[in-house]
Structure formats: C-alpha cells, structure tokens
Chain A
Amino acid sequence: MIKLIDIQETYDNGTKALKGVSMRIDDGEFVFLVGPSGSGKSTIVKLITGEIAPTTGRLMVNGYNMNTIHPRQIPGMRRTLGVIFQDFRLIEKKSVMENLSFVMRVVGASPREIAKRIPYILNLVGLEGKEHALPSELSGGEQQRVAIARALVNNPCVIIADEPTGNLDPQRSLEIMMLLERINRLGTTVLVVTHEKELVNRFSKRVVAIENGRVISDEMGGYYSDETI
C-alpha cells in the first residue's frame, strides 16, 4: 500500500513541485497517474522510490515510513517495488537473461532459483527464446517487455511504470498496457504514470489527475479527458 498525506516537495532551487498531495493506493489496485509535463508526476515517483525525501507531509510505501526511513533500509524498501522506465534502462552489455538474473542476485537468490524463475517470467511477458539476446538486438516493445520482466522477477508488491509507452508506437503501447493489466490481475499493484490520454481512456481504471503539484481529480473507473486537465 502507498499512502501520501499532504505531501509538499520543494527542490533546492526553490521550485515547488508538489503543493499538498494526498492519495492512497491499496494493494491490488491499478492506477493511472496522469497530468501534463511539469505537473509533479515524476516527483511522486521519485518520492515513492526513495530517490528524494518529502519536504513536508507523510509518506508510507509498503509499510516503510519514508519520512523516517534509514538510508540502509532503502534497498529493502526498493525490493518491494518494480520500476519500469520510459527509456527501458537495460544494461546494454548484458543479455536478457543477465539483465534479469542480476536483479535476483541483488536479493541473494541462488543460481537454481534464478534458472527456474527467469524462464517463467520471460514466458509471462512473451519473450520466450530471447534469453541470450542483447538489448540492442531487440525491438523497442521487446526491450520494454524485458524491463517489465526485470521489474517482476523478484515478485514485488507494486509495479511503478513511469511513462512506459513513451518510446513505443500505439500498437506496442497497447500491448504493454495489456501486459501490465494482466500482471495486475495476478495480484500485483500497478501504478502507471502517463500522459497518453487515448491509452488511459481505453482502460476503465482509477485515474488520478495532477496539475501544478496538486491532485485535481481522483476517480474510480474515471477517464482522462481534455475537460479534466
């Protein structure tokens, strides 16, 4: 569960990125976080992943109090999350298998566990047979699937996808979103940060709209329309 209570975030240069954001994402939910560029979406992601600390307000992420979390606890907290980025962020010199296995190494998984888990995950994201390919040998959609597989491989409670379809064509974007919906149906909480309204409107999910650092709408089964933003 993720809970933000009256979060304000002011950067060192004085920019007020968030001006009192409150929201709660329960276990098993699928949530779209939408808003224009500079609205504060990425700041929320950075707060949840522990890259920055809230200036004021309270933030809880999967049982961790982010206001009082010790730096040593951050790796443990991050293992409860799976993060997907717009630019995939795969390690270019490592194969698909190695990109996934090092994430399992991080949590101390044995070679046997790794050998068992990775084929299952690759099958889940539709990349069976691509274990030994390098990221540069894959299409954009396939690379994003590897990124999703990497986010999933340690079985996290929450998947955070930050503009996961930003570098993909509409058809691949739809496939990725359907994959995330499937993962959500398997029980994982999914938070998708996007500004692609057509895509959001195709799924009847909870949509939290943010603008100028404030939540301006939060509707279950809502949609992302020009009137909302």
Chain B
Amino acid sequence: MRQYNTGYQFKEGFHSIFAHGLMSFAAVCMIVACLIIMGSFSLVAVNLDNTLGDLEAQNEFTAYIDDSLSETEIQKLQSQIEAIPNVSTVTFVSREQALQDYIQRYSDSENSDLFQSLPQEVLRNRFQIHVVSIEDISSTVQSVEQVNGIAKVRAELEIAQGFVAVRNVASAVAFILVMLLLVISLFIIANTIKLTTFHRREEIAIMKMCGATNWFIRWPFIFEGMLLGFAGAVIAFFIQWGIYSLILNAVANYGGLQLLDIIPFRNLAGRLGVTFGGAGLLIGGGGSLLAIRKFLQV
C-alpha cells in the first residue's frame, strides 16, 4: 500500500512551500546566492584552465640539426622525431627562414639593422617541435636529444613546468573552494529550513505519536527542499548568465585583457545548468534532511 504515499508526500511538500511562503522565499534566496558564488568560482576556474590550456598548446621547443646532414637525412630525422611519444608536430625551419623570422621579430627594435647584415650561416637548420602534454615535456626533450643528427635542443622547461604548476594549483584551489562553499551552503540552507521546520515541530510530534515512521515524515520535507533547491538553481542560472555576459563584454572591450580566452556562455550553459540543477537538488534535499533530524527525536 506504500505506493499511495509518494504522491501524497510530494503534494504535501509542494503545498508546504506556499503554506510557509516567506520562509520558502528566504530559502530560495539563500540557494540562489550560494549557487551564484559557487558558479562564479567554477566559471573563473574553467576559464583559467582554458586559458592555460591554450598557452600550453602554444608550447614548443627547438631542436637544432647537425650541419653535416643532407636534405634526405633531415627528412628521415623528422620522421624519427615524429615517432617519439608526446610529440605532436615537427616543423622544419631552414636557416634562411630562421633568419627571416629574426629580422621580422626584431624589426621594431633599435638594433634592427644588426640582423639585416647577419649572415645566414651563423644560424642552423632546426625543427620546431610541439608536444601533446606539457607535463611530459622533460622526457620528450631527453628523447629528442638522444636522436642522432640533433646537435642541440633548446627548451624553456621552467616555463612549461610553471604552466603545469599554475594549472594544478588553480584546479586544486577551485575544487577546495567549491567544496567548501557547497558545505557552507548546505548548512545555511539547513538552518533556513530549520526555521520552517521549527514552526512545524508540533505537527511532526503528532505524526510520530500516530505511528509515522521517520521516513514518512522526512520525505515531504525532502521534496520541499528539493523543489526549493531546483527553483533556486533555475533563478541562479539566469542570473549567472547575465553576470557572465556582462563580464564577457567587458573583457572583449578592454584591450589589456585580450590574453584571456573567455569561453562563450553557450558552450558552458549545458554543463552549468546540470551542475546548478544537481547542486540545487542536493543542497535543498540535504539541507532538509539535516534540518529535520533534531525534530524527529520524539
């Protein structure tokens, strides 16, 4: 006969939202505030990760080719390097091309004329090598160094390791902050719902005296909390959307922040919506569970 209770308990939870309108409003406001704070931190973390990822993707190192190698041998060498794990692309740059690049790069500097008269023999043929994962760049550099025909390798390992460290720290800090905010939100919501529950302690005591099990009493409160949490999540989603769009426009209009690669909201909306929905249900339902615990001891 228990199947009759689920619908009843859901209905009770739904009615209770309107029966305690002011408290419900307070709980939704708290959920919205908590989710926006959490969402903002998460979005900053995602964008930071994305920007670092882009910078990582640009990371490369240079392998200088032994001058004694013929053109055919250089082509074989290129294939050999391409076969090394973690190597993404290998681009051959001739000494002529390298000189052109130098001249172009320093054309605006005071000493640009120095490069104009530079003989191309002072430069070597080289490979520009991109890596798949920046975390494994050290071992890739070592492997390339051991290839016969490579005279020297120049890699900015400190920069690469710096990216990895920043990315790891940023991910860890964002994760800890979001978890911390989730727990804080849970307790704030629990206390808000506890105020609602306090008004209904007599009702709970009556139910207990009539032989209601703890779960029979809990479910309407959990449904109520989940509905409030979901409503809060929907509102928070749209507010977050607005805030994000404002920031996106501000970054686009401010030249100094061009380095930041902000992800368009439409690319994040799905994930953010699911996360907000899930977090809202969890915070609302979990908060109700915590709130009602004390009042069930009758």
Known A75-B211, A76-B211, A78-B211: A108·B5 in contact at CB below 8 Å: yes
Within 8 A of B (CB), among A70-109: 72, 75-79, 81, 83, 89-91, 93, 102-103, 105-109
Contacting pair A110 B4 (CB below 8 A) = yes
A-B pairs under 8 A by CB, number:
54
Q: Interface 1/0s, chain A 106-133, versus B by CB < 8 A?
A: 1111110000000000000000000000
In Å, the complex CA distance between A150 and B209 comes to 11
Known A89-B206, A91-B206: A110·B1 in contact at CB below 8 Å: yes
**4 further A-B pairs in the complex, CB-CB below 8 A; given A81-B211, A105-B8:** A78-B209, A90-B206, A91-B203, A105-B4
Is B122 an interface residue when CB atoms closer than 8 A count as contact? no
How many of chain A's residues touch chain B, expressed as a range?
20 to 34
Is B212 an interface residue when CB atoms closer than 8 A count as contact? yes
In Å, the complex CA distance between A108 and B215 comes to 13
Contacting pair A107 B206 (CB below 8 A) = no
Known A51-B298, A105-B4, A108-B5: A93·B19 in contact at CB below 8 Å: yes
In Å, the complex CA distance between A81 and B202 comes to 19
Q: Interface 1/0s, chain A 34-75, versus B by CB < 8 A?
A: 000000000000000101000000000000000000001001
Contacting pair B1 A106 (CB below 8 A) = no
The 6 closest A-B pairs by CB, nearest first: A108-B1, A79-B211, A78-B211, A106-B212, A103-B210, A75-B213
Which B residues touch A49, using CB under 8 A? Answer: 209
Known A106-B216, A108-B1, A111-B4: A150·B203 in contact at CB below 8 Å: no
Which B residues touch A93, using CB under 8 A? Answer: 19
Contacting pair A154 B203 (CB below 8 A) = no
Question: B40 to nearest A CB, angstroms?
Answer: 39
**Count of chain B residues with a beta carbon within 8 Å of a chain A beta carbon:** 19
CB-nearest residue of chain B to A77: B211
Known A51-B298, A75-B212, A93-B19: A106·B4 in contact at CB below 8 Å: no
In Å, the complex CA distance between A93 and B209 comes to 18
CB-nearest residue of chain B to A103: B210
Is B266 an interface residue when CB atoms closer than 8 A count as contact? no
Most chain A CB neighbours (cut-off 10 Å) among B4, B5, B213:
B4
Contacting pair B4 A107 (CB below 8 A) = no
CB-nearest residue of chain A to B7: A111
Task: Write 25 A-B pairs (CB below 8 A) sorted by A numbering.
Answer: A49-B209, A75-B208, A75-B212, A76-B211, A78-B209, A79-B210, A83-B209, A83-B210, A89-B206, A90-B206, A91-B202, A91-B203, A102-B207, A103-B210, A105-B8, A106-B210, A106-B212, A106-B216, A107-B1, A107-B211, A108-B1, A108-B4, A110-B4, A150-B210, A154-B210
Question: A62 to nearest B CB, angstroms?
Answer: 12
Contacting pair B5 A105 (CB below 8 A) = yes
Q: Interface 1/0s, chain B 86-130, versus A by CB < 8 A?
A: 000000000000000000000000000000000000000000000
Q: Interface 1/0s, chain B 158-188, versus A by CB < 8 A?
A: 0000000000000000000000000000000
In Å, the complex CA distance between A76 and B298 comes to 15
Which B residues touch A106, using CB under 8 A? Answer: 207, 210-213, 216
Q: Interface 1/0s, chain B 197-232, versus A by CB < 8 A?
A: 000001101111111110010000000000000000
Which A residues touch B8, using CB under 8 A? Answer: 105
Identify which of B2, B4, B19, B210 contacts A78 (C-beta below 8 A).
Answer: B210
CB-nearest residue of chain B to A83: B209
Which A residues touch B208, using CB under 8 A? Answer: 75, 78
Which A residues touch B205, using CB under 8 A? Answer: 89
Most chain A CB neighbours (cut-off 10 Å) among B202, B210, B298:
B210
Question: A73 to nearest B CB, angstroms?
Answer: 10
Which A residues touch B207, using CB under 8 A? Answer: 102, 106
Which B residues touch A83, using CB under 8 A? Answer: 209-210
Question: B48 to nearest A CB, angstroms?
Answer: 50
Known A51-B298, A89-B202, A91-B203: A109·B211 in contact at CB below 8 Å: no
Within 8 A of A (CB), among B65-99: none
In Å, the complex CA distance between A109 and B8 comes to 11
Which B residues touch A91, using CB under 8 A? Answer: 202-203, 206
